[in-house]
Structure 1
Amino acid sequence: MTRTFLASCLLFPALLSAADSADVIIYGGSSGGITAAIQTARMGKTAILIEPTQFLGGLTTGGLGATDIGNKKAIGGMSREFYANIFKYYNDATKWKQETREAYFSRKPHGNTGSEDTMWTFEPHAATEIYDAMLKEAGDQVTVVKGERLDLNKGVVKEGAKITKIIMESGREFTGPMFIDATYEGDLMAKAGVSYHVGREANSVYGETLNGVQVGHSRSHQFIKDVDPYVKPGDPSSGLLPGIEKDPGEEFSGDRKVQAYNFRMCTTDDPNNKLDWEKPANYDEAWFELALRNVEAGDSRISWAPSWMPNRKTDTNNNFAISTDFIGANWDYPEADYETRAKIWKAHEDWQKGLMWTYAHHPRVPENIRAAFQKLGLAKDEFADNGHWPRQLYVREARRMIADYVMTEKNCKRTEIVEDSVGMGAYNMDSHNIQRYVTKEGFVRNEGDVQVRSRPYPISYRSIRPKADQCSNLLVPICLSASHISYGSIRMEPVFMVLGQSAATAAVQAIEQGSTVQGIDYEKLKARLLADGQVLDFESPPIPEVSRFIKKDLPGIVVDDMQASLTGFDKEGHTTPGFVEDGYRHDNNEHKGEQRARFTPELSAGKYEVLISYSALSNRATEVPVIIHHASGQDTVLVNQTKLPSGKHGFQPVGTYTFEAGQSGWVEISNQGTKGHVIIDAVQWLPVK
């Protein structure tokens, strides 16, 4: 018996003699599974929470401490209670080991100010402590069972449309009138005979624009240099490097491919708490040849996104062309058996560890990139039972149920609004890249990245319960009924907590009403959800019709931030409208004097009006230095980015200058001497006659 299991037995005594029957059987100890179990207990019923691994909390305790939600007003109920508990946890001075609370919040990390009654950034072990405390408060009405996996061959027994029991690989059986599938994979849902989809639907299926293959849309995490995809450069007959497809498929068509997975690493820059990146024993340089060629081609961006958590730790996510997302390696995962999933899981771990070592130590990587990756390393005081590596793979999407109502892009844009809300989504429609392919010019590109704003919107009750003829006593708050692109907005941990609580409320009411989950009285469900503090809907400002400008539609010569030469400016944004293409970059209001972006056009000799694009907001810098290098020398203009640009198409004029032919002229924007966020987006040269 492991130390981890012994500790869990002490915390949850029922583990030693777990009952096999309860009012609500919850399969999956994710964040949504935990809130479902606690809500069941708070409504006076019993719950069994079954987690196939030895730890609870899924991604919330597995490294995703930089909470993504969008408009926090959309989060209520037990989910908001969790983030309020995070706030209380870090109000305790003894929880601050590597820095002070004041020092942390002075950086306004991930939107936190420290002045609210909630907190949305946290260390993995803090989330575990809080979930354990919340479950302990639920008392004996919640029984936690760990290390039991559903038998994928005979694990679900039904009478008609009703599940009567589920069976684990060990032979252990669990019975009850109501069941909830709170896994990221949707195994219980699938084995219960419920319809589902894997991959992207074609745009035509639900009348969408952002689903299916999106070659023309993938921008944010993209190659900015031309990189050869062939084993022997320039020789197609030598074959493609690992992980690259010949072609992406027809634009807007559907496929069985899912957006990339990764691990959300908890790293630190504290030398007393940091582990150096080690070269994996099975390191295969062929898998990292593309990354090496990319940096050798001149892509100097630091390809990861560390968001700072308390105590000088990070939640480190994917960023740019080649990063922690193992693109294309997960397509078989959703429907795979446990053995195949374990191999895919291990391949992701090997990829990410190998890439970290490559960027930190490989001699072909430029020194400045190596130094950036050596600055951070895994935190010694997190995930000690797993070699300090996150215990949860970020399964961004797997199966998605097909129910009586399918959430789509229309819901996220509020062009279609449901009246049977059980919670709200508020994040952008966000799909990570899905594949790499070879362009007709013979270079490698990523495909599948889509990031488009949503308005806070209600999520239908019909989307978390199956069709009546398929299963009458099951609720699915995580692998819910949604298209690929709308799921990209819904799939946030706070929303899963909200939907887990709502699913449990519906399950208990179905028991009390002697009904199926399809037949309950929605008005009674709504009344209880509101009484428990759930947020079901609110009106929000519409998304501006002109939120972005397409480069090819703009006059003159335009150089976007994707074509700029960057030092820093590695944070991306796309929430404040008025930008060129799909987003902009910013300095995160830090490392002042160290970040700059140079925009170099190809010009004919002559006089040009120069303009810059930025998305204005009150937190922007008021004196952003813009250097214009022209035929007669150079000038510096200070731009106030809190004010809307005064020119056409969202551009701010900075002067008229004469330029020589070719690429001798340029514009450079930096954060030297600035206070506030500095935005870089695009520079425009308009010929003056």
Structure 2
Amino acid sequence: MADFNCDVAIIGGGVTGVAAGIAAARAGAKTILIEPRPFVGGNATTGLCLHNYVTRYGRQVVFGIAQEIVDELIAMGGAVGHIPYQGFTSAVTPVDGNYFRIKTTEMLARAGVQVIYGATVVGVAREAERIASLTLAAKGGLHTLTAANVVDASGDGDIAAMAGVPFRFGDGPAKRMQPVSMILHFHNVDTRRIAAEIGEVAPAMARRPNAAEPIPVYFNGSFSKWNDIVVSEGIFPNRDRNVFFNTVWPDQVNVNTSAVLDVDGTDPVALSRATVELTAQCARIGDFLRQHVPGFENGYMVPAAIPGVRESRNIRGRYEIQDADVLEGRKFDDTIGQVSFPVDIHAPDSSQAIFVQIGGDGAFDIPFRSMLPAELDNLVVAGRCVSATHVAHGATRNMAPCLVMGEAAGTAAAMASGGGTTVAGLAVADLQARLLENGVFLGDAFGGRHAERKIAV
């Protein structure tokens, strides 16, 4: 058994953990990031867009490390920036998943983060109101990790749950959760024909460097015109099936349309069964697209390596983000950043996407209290397991908000460790001052150098 010791331990290397790790290490903390998979980046590596940096009124409100990642991806050809779209959102930020993995791996290393791959936390030792140590299962057996402060970026709130923090699980008495999905990566396709055939509105268009013409990089629609085939061949669980496409390439596209219902993402057997079904479902969908949808006929498909879990646990924090906070675009004194992507709920009974716009000025604040469990002082929870209702979670679960929360969590954990205190004992005003210094936009009440950036929509 090996022992590890650090100032900040981050559990989970998805987009939340990536931002947390970079932020903590840059703030001077000795930082260890634990990731069960052999890569970082989570769902961003599957090719999903980094929704969403821009409000429905065209104002960019997400900056900091989240914007820095996009800037670096643009420089290496793996992103095209924030592109206006006239659909359910005003702008989209597509990225290449493999480039995202390459770039964030590099950024973590550059910041000085020690990433331990293939490691899973299997035990939490608690002393009163603090986590004393974590037990890891990894190469060589069991290992002990101790840290002054811990960031739970696991997505499922695993550390909080193991430490006895209460949580909300699914929606309503039946605790039904949004479905799990698996992205299809299609190569050698004609994205212009696909967009013309299936897009509900004009696609988001972007120009790659040295390219003669702009290309479609995002569009969405449905398979309604193929309902008879869908029903007769059992391709999808419902008629009028939603489908979402994104890319940064002229001849490749990511397809988001698969779904398995009623999967508990914290149950390893259930998630494993869903992975088997999703892989087979992707193969069926791939055949269907090649045979029936113009633009796919010469393509070949590879399913993503991992399924995407939209919803499982949400901790009961010191504040729970409410439906009204989202629907009214509320602001908070302890904000650590803003959310601008609409409520995006894939219905538990059909997996059809339902969008509800954020009220007010099109953005709401994430209060730091929603990331802090009352039961533990040295644990901060970030990402889709933050304290939120089922509806609010439909907005907070998306990747741009997760990047925002990750940067705040990593910064807070590093500041607390450096100051000999806990994240719960950290003065929020000090955290906000540091975030502003690092280029995070907290809202108009706090000013900052990004307060007036607009995107043409």
Q: TM-score range by the shorter chain?
A: 0.7 to 0.9
- Taking the aligned partners of 2:229 and 2:312, their CA distance within structure 1 comes to 27
1:177 match:
148
- Taking the aligned partners of 2:401 and 2:2, their CA distance within structure 1 comes to 29
Instruction: Tell me the secondary structure at the aligned position of residue 176 of structure 1.
Output: strand
Select which of 353, 357, 360 maps to 2:287: 357
Instruction: Tell me the secondary structure at the aligned position of residue 85 of structure 1.
Output: helix
1:306 match:
245
Q: Provide TM-score, normalisation by structure 2.
A: 0.78
- Taking the aligned partners of 1:453 and 1:500, their CA distance within structure 2 comes to 24
| Cα pair 1:67 1:120 within 8 Å, conserved | yes
| Cα pair 1:309 1:315 within 8 Å, conserved | no
- Taking the aligned partners of 2:419 and 2:163, their CA distance within structure 1 comes to 23
Does residue 192 of the first structure (1) align with residue 163 of the second (2)?
Answer: yes
2:223 match:
none
Q: Bigger CA drift: 28-37 or 68-77?
A: 68-77
Structure 1 pair 158–302 and aligned structure 2 pair: CA distance change class (3 A): closer
1:510 match:
416
Give CA deviations for 1:625-684 in whole Å, capped at 9, x if unaligned: xxxxxxxxxxxxxxxxxxxxxxxxxxxxxxxxxxxxxxxxxxxxxxxxxxxxxxxxxxxx
Does residue 395 of the first structure (1) align with residue 309 of the second (2)?
Answer: yes
The CA deviation at 1:481 is 0.3
Give CA deviations for 1:610-639 in whole Å, capped at 9, x if unaligned: xxxxxxxx98xxxxxxxxxxxxxxxxxxxx
1:260 match:
179
2:104 match:
131
Instruction: Tell me the secondary structure at the aligned position of residue 297 of structure 2.
Output: helix
- Taking the aligned partners of 2:354 and 2:244, their CA distance within structure 1 comes to 17
1:493 match:
399
The CA deviation at 1:302 is 8.0
Select which of 238, 254, 262 maps to 1:315: 254
2:376 match:
471
Structure 1 pair 268–110 and aligned structure 2 pair: CA distance change class (3 A): farther
- Taking the aligned partners of 2:53 and 2:314, their CA distance within structure 1 comes to 20
The CA deviation at 1:257 is 0.7
The CA deviation at 1:488 is 0.7
> For residue 163 of structure 1, what is the amino acid of its counterpart?
I
Structure 1 pair 409–375 and aligned structure 2 pair: CA distance change class (3 A): farther
- Taking the aligned partners of 2:435 and 2:276, their CA distance within structure 1 comes to 40
| Cα pair 2:84 2:92 within 8 Å, conserved | no
> For residue 176 of structure 1, what is the amino acid of its counterpart?
A
Task: Give the gaps of 5 or more residues in structure 2.
Answer: 86-90, 191-226, 446-455
Does residue 411 of the first structure (1) align with residue 325 of the second (2)?
Answer: yes
The CA deviation at 1:25 is 0.7
1:250 match:
none
- Taking the aligned partners of 2:129 and 2:391, their CA distance within structure 1 comes to 30
- Taking the aligned partners of 2:130 and 2:62, their CA distance within structure 1 comes to 32
Give CA deviations for 1:566-602 in whole Å, capped at 9, x if unaligned: xxxxxxxxxxxxxxxxxxxxxxxxxxxxxxxxxxxxx
Mapping of residues 153-552 of structure 1, within 5 Å? 155-169=123-137, 170-201=141-172, 254-270=173-189, 291-293=230-232, 304-318=243-257, 324-326=258-260, 328-330=261-263, 332-333=264-265, 335-336=266-267, 338-358=268-288, 360-361=290-291, 369=292, 371=294, 373-378=296-301, 388-414=302-328, 416-435=330-349, 446=350, 449-454=353-358, 455-467=362-374, 470-478=375-383, 479-538=385-444
> For residue 93 of structure 2, what is the amino acid of its counterpart?
W
The CA deviation at 1:255 is 3.0
1:32 match:
16
Mapping of residues 3-152 of structure 1, within 5 Å? 20-65=4-49, 67-71=51-55, 73-90=60-77, 111=84, 120-139=93-112, 142-151=113-122
- Taking the aligned partners of 1:409 and 1:419, their CA distance within structure 2 comes to 18
Instruction: Tell me the secondary structure at the aligned position of residue 407 of structure 1.
Output: coil
Structure 1 pair 124–519 and aligned structure 2 pair: CA distance change class (3 A): same
- Taking the aligned partners of 2:54 and 2:357, their CA distance within structure 1 comes to 9
| Cα pair 1:406 1:483 within 8 Å, conserved | yes
- Taking the aligned partners of 2:229 and 2:373, their CA distance within structure 1 comes to 43
Give CA deviations for 1:164-199 in whole Å, capped at 9, x if unaligned: 111123311211111111112221121111111111
Q: Provide the identity percentage.
A: 23
Structure 1 pair 415–127 and aligned structure 2 pair: CA distance change class (3 A): closer
Structure 1 pair 301–191 and aligned structure 2 pair: CA distance change class (3 A): closer
The CA deviation at 1:494 is 1.8
Mapping of residues 609-688 of structure 1, within 5 Å? none
Give CA deviations for 1:205-261 in whole Å, capped at 9, x if unaligned: xxxxxxxxxxxxxxxxxxxxxxxxxxxxxxxxxxxxxxxxxxxxxxxxx43111122
> For residue 135 of structure 1, what is the amino acid of its counterpart?
L
Give CA deviations for 1:289-331 in whole Å, capped at 9, x if unaligned: 99333899xx99786332232242222112xxxxx122x241x
| Cα pair 2:52 2:401 within 8 Å, conserved | no
The CA deviation at 1:88 is 1.5
Structure 1 pair 538–347 and aligned structure 2 pair: CA distance change class (3 A): farther
2:215 match:
none
> Of the two structures, which has the highest relative contact order with CA contacts closer than 8 Å and spacing of 6 or more?
2
- Taking the aligned partners of 2:72 and 2:399, their CA distance within structure 1 comes to 16
1:648 match:
none
Q: Provide TM-score, normalisation by structure 1.
A: 0.53
> For residue 317 of structure 1, what is the amino acid of its counterpart?
N
> For residue 397 of structure 1, what is the amino acid of its counterpart?
E
- Taking the aligned partners of 1:302 and 1:452, their CA distance within structure 2 comes to 19
Structure 1 pair 372–311 and aligned structure 2 pair: CA distance change class (3 A): closer
The CA deviation at 1:529 is 0.8
Q: Please say which structure displays the higher CA radius of gyration.
A: 1
> For residue 349 of structure 1, what is the amino acid of its counterpart?
T
